[in-house]
Amino acid sequence: MSEPMLRFVSCSQHPPEKRPATERRHDYHEIYKGFSPDRAEEQASRCSQCGIPFCASHCPLENVIPEWLRLAAQGRLEEAYEMSSSTNSFPEICGRICPQDRLCEGNCVIQKGFRSVTIGAVERFITETAFEEGWVKPAVPVKELKQSVGIVGSGPAGMACAERLRAEGYQVHVYERQEKPGGLMMYGIPSFKLEKTIVERRWRLLEEQGIIFHLGQAIGAGDGELPLEELRRQHDAVFLATGVYRARQVKVPGVRLKGVIEALDYLKESQETSDAVNAHGKHVVVIGGGDTAMDCVRTAIRQGAKKVTCAYRRDRENMPGSRQEVLNAEEEGAYFQWLAAPEAFLGDEHVNAVRLKEMRLGGLDTEGRRTVEHAGGHSTLQADMVICALGFEAEDLPELWQQPGLAVTRWGTLKVSSDGYATSLPGVFAGGDIVRGASLVVWAIRDGREAAHAIHNHLSQRASHPQPVQENA
């Protein structure tokens, strides 16, 4: 077969077709249509097969992207899926929600002048084809091991860790406080980006693999909660992957007014069709510039808000969220007020306006981001609902789990060993947002997979060097 690659000079970039904004702003279905086989092969063939693939080196999972793009261009889709899934536990999810414009596609070497390869869309096509053809099978272990692992949290880190450990033969139990697994993938990311059937399909596959889910079971010291110490007694190792869910507070006057709500509360309740947080007919102001803020903006539009404005203290070029998400929001009717930070939420009992202070960009901070300072001016936006989306931070984890010996960082996240994912508690490991802070799904998947490797090494060493039994005096 002749080499079909390097066609970026003769074949233009054609991203997946988007449903019209006038249509999609009224429903929660995914906005992108899938590739046809011909279009997927065409777009995969644009890969330049460069010697140093920056797409792979900028992927947290180090996916071997050029290799499975070549296989897809040759129509060898089953092989492409096998290669893709060898490094990515959930390629069907990453193909939908990864910010490719900041990771693989944003670092494609042919981006300048020719526009990058549509890596995410091809990844989604490969995986959906694999599901349709029955190529996706649960990774059933070859042999069963007696040792068990308890995993706290069923988000991407917990699921990825569970999948790898079960494949090794361990007895894996996942404890999830919600009624369905998935974490933010289920309760925080709207269906127009990731339909819940996609997450549920993966959940069922993990159950077929032999992973046991304990749903509606929180770990803690409250009524009906399972103490972490008890979990440690029940299992040979524990992996903590609960994420971070406590909202970072907006410290301005009026924050306690009715109508001022937190982003995650809004997204979770809106997916449960709660009238208590319905934006229909309201002037909505979203504070923040990340992907969660964009999710809130686009959800409010779908609920029929009269006007939705996103206020962010930096400019478009320096916002942390996906550029594509901003474009999608603008297409659907959102307004953006850049260089604007909240100074006060106004109203008697219920919010009716947001007073913003105009900002300007300064020099770089210690993390390489532009600082902001008050430029002197002010403006006011009408607001019947204000959604605060300034990110998340960790709770007081040693207190939550009644484990004073559990070491945390100065940010409140769990401290782990420099050479692995071990916490200060023997046999307890951690990964995902609870360690690195609020981050991307793809980073959580990486943590889950690598933590599984660390746990496997730990349990293997224990099995080969059993502790001596203490005889009674």
Instruction: State the CATH number of the domain containing residue 129.
Output: 1.10.1060.10
For the chain, which residues score pLDDT lower than 50? 1, 469-473
Q: How does pLDDT run across 56-74, given as a tens digit for each residue?
A: 999 999 999 999 999 999 9
Residue 464's identity, in one-letter code, is S
- Domain hosting residue 172, numbered range: 148-244+394-464
Last residue of some domain: 133, 160, 179?
133
The pLDDT assigned to 468 comes to 52
CATH number assigned to the domain comprising residue 254 = 3.50.50.60
Residue that terminates a domain, selected from 375, 391, 407: 391
pTM: 0.93
pLDDT of residue 237: 98
Residue range 218-268, pLDDT digits in tens:
999 999 999 999 999 999 999 999 999 888 889 999 999 999 999 999 999
Q: How far apart are CA 34 and CA 125, in angstroms?
A: 6
Same domain, 348 and 438: no
Same domain, yes or no: 96 and 122: yes
User: Is 155 within a domain?
Assistant: yes
Determine the pLDDT at residue 368. Answer: 83
Kindly report each contact of residues 350-353 with a partner whose C-beta sits within 8 Å and lies 24 or more positions away, as own/partner. Answer: 350/257, 350/258, 350/259, 350/384, 351/254, 351/257, 351/258, 351/259, 351/260, 351/383, 351/384, 351/385, 351/386, 352/382, 352/383, 352/384, 353/380, 353/381, 353/382, 353/383
Residue 203 lies in a domain: yes
Say if residue 296 is in the same domain as residue 372: yes
Whether residue 101 is found in the same domain as residue 179: no
Rounded CA-CA distance 79/2 in Å is 18
Provide the pLDDT for residue 430: 98
Query: Based on the domain organization, do 262 and 193 belong to the same domain?
Result: no
Write out pLDDT tens, residues 8-26: 878 899 999 999 999 999 9
291-302 and 263-271 are packed helices; what angle lies between their axes, rounded to 10 degrees? 40
Identify the domain boundary among 376, 391, 406: 391
Same domain for 128 and 158: no
| Residue 143 covered by a domain | no
Pair 277, 219 in one domain: no
Is 473 within a domain? Answer: no
Structure tokens at 142: 């070859």
Number of separate domains in the chain? 3
Q: Are residues 111 and 175 in the same domain?
A: no
235 shares its domain with 267: no
**pLDDT at 257 (0 to 100):** 97
Whether 234 is in a domain gets the answer yes
Tally of CB atoms within 10 A around 402 = 12
d(CA 253, CA 129): 52
> What pLDDT, on a 0 to 100 scale, did the predictor assign at position 471?
46
User: Could you tell me if 255 and 383 lie in one domain?
Assistant: yes
> In the prediction, which pLDDT does 114 show?
72
For residues 267 and 370, is the Cβ–Cβ distance under 8 A? no
- Residue type for 431, please? G
434 shares a domain with 369: no
230 and 109 both lie in a single domain: no
**378 in a domain, yes or no?**
yes
| 3-class state of residue 179 by DSSP | coil
